[in-house]
Amino acid sequence: MRRPRRPEDYRDFKIVRDYSEKERDFKPSRGIDLALFFPASYRVAASSLSFTWVRDLLYSENVGVERFFFHRSFSRFYSLENLRPVDEFRNIAFSYNFEMDLFNILEILKKIHIPIRWKDRNSNHPLIIVGGAMTYFNPSIAYPIADVVYLGDLEEDVKRFSSALLKESKETSLEIFNLSPFVSIPRIGKFGTVAKVGNLNRFPPIGSILTPEGEFKDKLLIEIGRGCIRRCSFCMIGHLQKPARFLKIDTLKNILSEIPKSTALGIISATVTDYPWLDELLDLLEDRRFSVSSMRMDKLNLRLLKMLKNSGQKSFTVAPEGGTQKIRDILKKDIEDQHIERALLLGRKSGFDNLKMYFIYGVPSETEEDLKGISEIASLALKMGYKTVKLSLNPLIPKPGTPMEKTKMESIKILKKKRDFLQRSLKARGVKLHFEGLRESVVQYGIANSNSDDVEEYLDIFEKFGSKDLERFIYKKFEGK
């Protein structure tokens, strides 16, 4: 790759090159058919299996894909695979997984001089495609922006999707996309249905990159479950990604037989402890280093925790969500006090000194007694001998497609009072607190509950004033609503 001539372009180039050189990539790239953007920082992107899995799935159909990430300082964007500038690619796809990524998608399009609305583009512009987790519950957010919105699991129509990407003509690509039941094409009024039944055993989702960045540092990621068998009322996965699907244990055994035992693994699932063949999974992992994405408190076992500890994990993470049974019942978490106490005891028996717990506050009918319950659980952990107890405390953000979609998010005024109460009641020595920003939470709530008309308004504001003013507008629009 020729070194960029402008100093500011070389700065961008060097940031990407430094991350690229840290990666150990097992799949060679094959051309410039698609620029795949994860519209978040490299660290966030590297923590997601989809960042490489979508690329590799398309590789299997001979589509040339290279990955891009967002950095606020970038004026140009270069690929991780071959440090190619994005303007060499004829298709651009965004993996839209988190509400707040909307701002980054708009910033990327603006910086690479592509109109942010599909109706303002012509045949010389690249085809803009949006997919990812957001399409499961509110794809309309992308309709004013994307030429094509792919809904749900890509595995279900990967051949047709790939065939469309390989066409030279933008119009021919759109004709092929139009044949897919899982695609929306807003410009012709075509709206598809969500593909929720991706076959994990036909297309086993395995990572192909090791990197020292992200949540799973230097680990090869394997998805063993997609969707969730649980019914938590605040969570989209259990309601919008049904039926839950699991990688069969024989399939997993064959996969692991080809991965050197010296390679550490990251096991991905909504709740790894709900994997139907958990004991057999642990047999396969007995002499390997690994970590897991999520565990249920009522399904924890001593063997799993000891294996995680022996793998070098310093702390373990669980999510009681509510401080009292009343709140957990409202959230349909399906765990009781006895499950929490048992899980904390198992952690100590396994040798863990450090604990992280997730809680939600701002739940309907919540009282001070319910908030005190969070403090009591933290105190219980300290009494059991944990040296460090970290609490992540997040306000309830009702999402479309869940049983709480009609619930109003509590006002900032009320949430601040509850946050201050929690801070006062959790001053016990050893308890470390992290509160998700209330302003960002309101904006996230606003975007999640927006429709295409709302987004049209957002695009007007972005074009005139930029991201900061757009964020302020969404905050004011939804605060206390």
432 Cβ neighbours under 8 A, 6+ residues apart: 388, 389, 390, 391
Per-residue pLDDT of 80-121, as tens digits, reads: 999 999 999 999 999 999 999 999 999 999 999 999 999 999
pLDDT digits (tens, 9 = 90+) for 300-310: 999 999 999 99
Whole-number Å distance between alpha carbons of 112 and 125: 11
Percent of the chain residues past pLDDT 70, beyond the cut: 98
Query: What ranges make up the beta strands (E) of 102-261?
Result: 127-131, 148-150, 183-184, 209-210, 220-223, 225-226, 245-246
- Domain 313-449 classified CATH 3.30.750.200? yes
Q: Above pLDDT 90, what percent of the chain?
A: 88
Sign of CA dihedral 386, 311, 349, 298: positive
Which residues in the chain are classed under CATH 3.40.50? 7-188
Mean pLDDT over 186-207 rounds to 88
Question: Strand 225-226 to strand 220-223: parallel, antiparallel, or no bridges (unpaired)?
Answer: unpaired
* Mean per-residue pLDDT, 255-284: 96
- Please give the Cα distance from 219 to 130 (Å, whole number): 28
Q: What pLDDT does residue 200 have?
A: 87
pLDDT digit string, tens, across residues 387-396: 999 999 999 9
Q: Report the pLDDT value the prediction gives residue 237, as an integer from 0 to 100.
A: 87
pLDDT, mean over the chain: 94
- The answer to whether the beta carbons of residues 286 and 241 sit under 8 Å apart is no
Q: What is the pLDDT of residue 122?
A: 95
Residue 99 has a pLDDT of: 96
**Is the confidence at residue 234, as pLDDT, over 80?**
yes
Nearby residues of 266 by Cβ (< 8 Å), 6 or more positions away: 207, 215, 216, 219, 220, 221, 222, 290, 291, 292, 293
The stretch 316-342 carries a mean pLDDT of 96
**What pLDDT shows up at residue 480?**
64
pLDDT for the residue numbered 355: 96
Q: For 68, phi and psi rounded to 5 degrees?
A: -135, 155
Give Cα 33 to chain centroid, integer Å. Answer: 25
The pLDDT-based confidence of 77 (bands split at 50, 70, 90) is very high
Confidence of residue 134 (pLDDT cuts 50, 70, 90): very high
Q: Identify residue 264 by its one-letter amino acid code.
A: A
Burial (CB < 10 A; 0-12, 13-18, 19+), residue 25, is middle
Backbone angles phi, psi at 25, to 5 degrees: -105, 125
pLDDT tens, residue by residue, 421-453: 999 999 877 799 999 999 999 999 999 999 999
Stretch 347-366: mean pLDDT, rounded?
A: 96
251: left (phi over 0), alpha (psi -120 to 50) or beta: alpha
What is 7-188's CATH topology? Rossmann fold (3.40.50)
In whole angstroms, what separates CA 3 from the centre of its chain? 33
Q: Report pLDDT digits (tens) over 164-186.
A: 999 989 999 999 999 999 999 99
pLDDT digits (tens, 9 = 90+) for 237-261: 888 877 889 999 999 999 999 999 9
Range(s) for CATH 3.30.750.200 in the chain? 313-449
Lowest mean pLDDT among 10-14, 173-177, 279-283: 10-14
Contact by Cβ (8 Å): 164, 211: no
